[in-house]
Amino acid sequence: MTVFDQLQGFLDRPDIPFKSIIAGITVGKFAFETYLTYRQYRVLSKKKLPKVLENEIDDATFLKSEEYSRAKARFSVVVDIYELVQKLAFIKFDAFPRLWNLSVQVANVLLPAKFKVLSTVAQSLCFLSVLTNLATIVDLPTSYYQHFVLEEKFSFNKLTIKLWVTDMFKSVALSHALGGPILYGFLKIFEKFQTNFLWYICLFVFVVQILAMTLIPVYIMPLFNKFTPLEDGELKTSIETLAKRVGFPLDQIFVIDGSKRSSHSNAYFTGLPYMSKRIVLFDTLVNESSVDEITAVLAHEIGHWQKKHIMNMVVFSQVHIFVIFSLFTGVYRNLSLYNDFGFYIGTSDSLLSSATKVFTPEWPIIVGFMLFSDLLTPMECFMQFIMSLVSRLHEYQADTYAKGLGLSKNLCQALINLQIKNLSTMNVDPLYSSYHYSHPTLPERLTNLGYVSEKKQH
């Protein structure tokens, strides 16, 4: 008997109140993240810039940045409360079996007569479709407020109602068109390899991840943004010269119309390790930054390639996935867990008449995995600290790489200008940052780069 079999036996007991445990974990996560936001909000009440920024940021920009950061912090708490109420109501009112039964009823109405009897895999696909559509509707108020009130107030929002609605429908359509086949493959593995699925599911997830990294930039992103090849000129020549200098396998350089949604700026590259890369620049970055600054930013991005950060994160992700599914082997057939949430496997047909109970001869794996994910929340919160730490170390290394190319000054100026244009937070609580921030703060990055302001003290 393996340790996971022992775990399964230990947890599969009717006296374990899984509903209460998951509700408690949900409240605990909310309390922890609210505490972090409270710490950050207190830091945002400071009226003094970090020393390294004193000669770089004027008072008006600093005050507006702090106001923007406080507004986002307050909004995040409201969103967290909204999501907490949803989750607790979901548990309290047995939404899982209700939505499962509803999805089967909808499928029976829409499908031809020969498909009326649905397999558990087909029921799972219907269930997730209903759940996705419901989540989209429930999230509309917060999405609207974020774009058309919060971002609008600080002049960042460029979305129109029409584009917002179009984006929403595209996202839902893609989640069904792509998510459906992926979920089907995921569930069929469990159906085929009921007791030894671990390595197969890890391989499947790895393949999906690689395909996503390869295909999404080329086929999915253009559905939302227009990709225009960068015109010949000083900027293109500077980028190509840099790529040739460091041996970066540059394929194409694109400018995307990010300004049609937001005035925030960004740049990134896509492509698997050891393959040609596409550099993507937001039009806001191209229009508001100098050639030297953009080149320095891309030197930082190339630093990620040079240090093999993408490959490192792929490996890290696979180890993480392996741990998750290893633990899942110990609970995915836990009758007590399913029963507590209204799912009964291989029991009386009389339960079919109840809206809050589901009778199924097979294991509804998708439900089990969702419940397992809730139980795993404390570990995932801890993992967020680890992943943020690794990501920040990668950012430091990429900055140091750009510095080694002699582009430190330009990179520092680019980071300062982006901080100003994006009204990014100037003062950050260390614990809040270590949990939420994948990048070091600007003062931390400038210090790491050895930046010394050339501006005179006022």
H helix intervals, 376-438: 377-404, 408-422, 430-436
The whole-angstrom separation of Cα 129 and Cα 349 is 25
Report how far residue 152's alpha carbon sits from residue 159's, in angstroms, rounded to the nearest whole number: 9
Q: Is 92 exposed, middle or buried (0-12, 13-18, 19+ CB in 10 A)?
A: exposed
In what helix (H) or strand (E) does residue 360 lie, and over which residues does it extend?
strand 358-360
Beta-sheet pairing, 343-345 with 277-282? unpaired
- H or E segment to which residue 252 belongs: strand 250-256
Question: Which structure tokens are listed for 116?
Answer: 């009326």
Going by their DSSP bridges, the two strands 343-345 and 358-360 should be labelled as parallel
Of 397, 410, 383, 377, nearest to 440 by C-alpha is 397
Q: What stretch of H or E contains 345?
A: strand 343-345
Q: Which two tokens stand for residue 30?
A: 């909310």
Task: Classify strands 250-256 and 267-270 as parallel, antiparallel or unpaired.
Answer: unpaired
Q: Is 439 annotated as a binding residue?
A: no
**Within a 13 Å sphere around the CA of 130, how many CA atoms are in the beta-carbon half?**
19
Cα separation, 142 vs 78, whole angstroms: 9
Residue 351 burial (10 A CB sphere; 0-12, 13-18, 19+): middle
Q: How far is CA 297 from CA 6, 21, 268, 391, 413, in A?
A: 52, 46, 9, 17, 10
C-alpha to C-alpha distance for 203 and 185, rounded to whole angstroms: 12
Residue 257 appears among annotated catalytic residues: no
Is 264 marked as binding a ligand? no
- Tell me which residue of 91, 176, 84 sits closest to 132, measured CA to CA: 176
Tokens of 142: 């917060």
Q: How many CB atoms lie within 10 A of CB 429?
A: 19
- Return the number of other C-beta atoms located less than 10 Å from residue 457's C-beta: 6
For this structure, is 283 an active site residue? no
Please answer whether residues 27 and 420 qualify as being in contact, where contact means their C-beta atoms are separated by less than 8 angstroms. Answer: no
User: Which has the closest alpha carbon to 432: 385, 372, 364, 383?
Assistant: 385
Catalytic residue among 301, 340, 374, 429: 301
- Report residue 388 as tokens: 């943020």
240 is in an annotated binding site: no
Task: Output the known binding site for Zn(2+).
Answer: 300, 304, 395
Q: Which residues are catalytic?
A: 301, 399
